[in-house]
Amino acid sequence: MKRVLIIEDDHDFACFLAYATNGAERQFAKTLAEAIACLSCAEADRKPFDVILCDMKLPDAKPAQVVAEVAMRARGAALVCLTGAADSLPTCDAAEWKININSHDDILRLIRRAQRNQQRTPGYERSVRALETYAAHRAILA
């Protein structure tokens, strides 16, 4: 996992996600409009995101619109949709869904599973090994 886009309007939870993805290059968006701008810049710079962690309840869009817009622009990134409410899960092609994340290990497992669902490349394999090493170190320190 080299580049991560964290789309989250709750500052505390965004900080938690940043901690869970320590070691990756991270960008943050608090609204769908900001997320679209980040994704457009990444495409223009030819620096796509490897993982997108996306809160579905953003202040400027409905959950179905958030997921549809982000999924359309994800360009091969592992998309992990996050929500605290099961009734807000729209139908889409997100690699993973998660309700009620309780620890940074939960998010690391989600990212690994989402990445396994993506097309594998040599860079992907290195990213997975680095992520697994990071998770193992976190388990030892806990």
Q: What is the pLDDT of residues 17-28, one digit of tens each?
A: 888 888 899 999
- Say whether pLDDT at 81 is over 70: yes
| pTM reported for the whole predicted model | 0.69
Task: Kindly report which listed range (26-30, 66-70, 86-90) carries the lowest average pLDDT score.
Answer: 86-90
pLDDT mean over 5-30: 91
Most confident of 67-71, 125-129, 132-136: 67-71
Is residue 59 within 8 Å of 38, Cβ to Cβ?
no
Domains and CATH numbers, the chain: 3-141 (3.40.50.2300)
* Helix %, strand %, coil % of the chain (to 5): 50, 20, 30
Per-residue confidence (pLDDT) for residue 84, from 0 to 100:
65
